[in-house]
Amino acid sequence: MDCLVCRCSVYDTRVSLFTRPASLVSFLPSIRVHLVALTTPDFHLSFVRYPPTVFISSKFSWRISCDSIPKPSQINPQVEESRQRRHNAMKQFLLKECCFSSSQITLLISKDPSLFRRRSLHRAHQVLQMLEDCGLTVEQIRKTIIKSPTILIRSVDDHLKPKIEYLKTLGIADEDVNYIVSHNPRLLTSRLNETIAPKISSLIKFFGSKANLLKALRKAPEVASYDVKLLNNKLKVLENTGLLEHEIKRILERCPRILFCSVGKIEKNMEFLTCIVGLKPNVLVKYPQFLGFSVEKRLRPRYEVFKYLIASRARHHLTIHRVTILALTEGDFTQRFLSGSPDVKMLYEKYKGKTADVGVTKLLPTRQR
């Protein structure tokens, strides 16, 4: 059955016809939408400002009408002045109290514009005071607010403090709590009993102890929000390579960010490392970061350089192991294998996958420039 869907532009309304059993009603704020069932006039729907998602029932034929948004000249000056005053108040709070830059405020507006429509800054001041009392630095406070702007409208006593106290009951020191909160502030905006506590309990059980979990949180605070139920498929991929259970846990303890890698990425990296490079799976216990590297941008280019060096029989490169080439930082890799090498142009092409440009000449030995 045909259903009518209202689509509104800024200052007018248009009605489109869709031939679907059920369709979404979508409209902008300040639009009043009326839906009346033609066959049953007593059954009607009317919405104003941010309604929940509504599906039109296919049982009725609908007549739809909308009230347009007021023209700029029709906007109440007092309402507009009040809105602008609230916007400026929040902006000044962020500039002066939180030491935000203009660009950071613009970012906040794009992430959560409703934050600048708050009638009172009382909660924002309370949240800022609590974060300062907890020992967070100015930089950590900025990072916390940018990552989770809604923290400024949360109740300190009802929502924020109980979660910080819960983290401390796990034996996490104050400085570690500050680090975790500043890197994973969504932890403070989640529900304690329904979300945070069950996830933390599952993580403690998986890692074996609170101490092991704390080590993982220091390396990746986002782990505190991780759902262990999502881990099963990833564990199966690692188990299929012959890794033992204690080796897998050791890998995840040393590099917990692997928890956030997709199953496809883990499979792809494992296949490249074991089948192409020829590494044994247990090498990952010492170098777990290999599972998080990009095959196209890191692992394959480094391996191409390794193969070229071995094939060229360069005497000073014969003792270099393939694991070392994969594990080195970008700066150390460039310094050891590209800078000063007589084959720098060829190595650069192997590594970057493109012809060496003029900038590569600075890596050449002085006598070849």
pLDDT, tens digit (0-9, with 9 covering 90-100), for 267-300: 999 999 999 999 999 999 999 999 999 999 899 9
pLDDT for position 313: 62
Percentage of the chain beyond pLDDT 70 is 71
* pTM tops 0.85, yes or no: no
Q: In this predicted structure, what is the pLDDT of residue 311?
A: 76
Model confidence band, residue 125 (pLDDT cutoffs 50, 70, 90): very high
CB 301 within 8 A of CB 328: no
Q: What share of the chain is helix, strand, coil (3-state, %, to 5)?
A: 60, 10, 30
Compute CA 182 distance to the chain's CA centroid, rounded to the nearest angstrom: 14
Q: How confident is the model at residue 75 (pLDDT cuts 50, 70, 90)?
A: low
Q: Average pLDDT, stretch 64-87? A: 67
Tokens coding 35: 């839906």
E strand or H helix at 215: helix 210-219
Q: Which two three-digit tokens encode residue 78?
A: 């007092």
H/E run at residue 64: strand 62-67
The answer for residues whose C-beta is within 8 angstroms of residue 282's C-beta and 6 or more apart is 243, 247
Residue 22 in this model has a pLDDT that exceeds 60: no
Average pLDDT, the chain: 76
**43-52, 145-154, 159-168, 193-202: least confidently modelled range:** 43-52
Note the pLDDT of residue 10: 32
Cα 191 to Cα 194: distance, rounded to the nearest angstrom: 6
Task: Kindly state the average pLDDT of the residues 290-313.
Answer: 86
Q: Are 44 and 24 in contact, with CB atoms under 8 Å apart?
A: no
Q: Please, which pLDDT band fits residue 319 given cuts at 50, 70 and 90?
A: low
Q: What pLDDT, on the 0 to 100 scale, is given for residue 266?
A: 93
DSSP state of 68: P
In this prediction, residue 37 carries a pLDDT of: 43
Is 164 in contact with 181 (CB distance < 8 Å)?
yes
- What mean pLDDT do residues 224-246 have? 87
Is the pLDDT reported for residue 369 higher than 60?
no
Question: Which one of 79-88, 315-324, 338-347 scores highest in mean pLDDT?
Answer: 79-88
Q: Does pLDDT of 151 surpass 50? A: yes
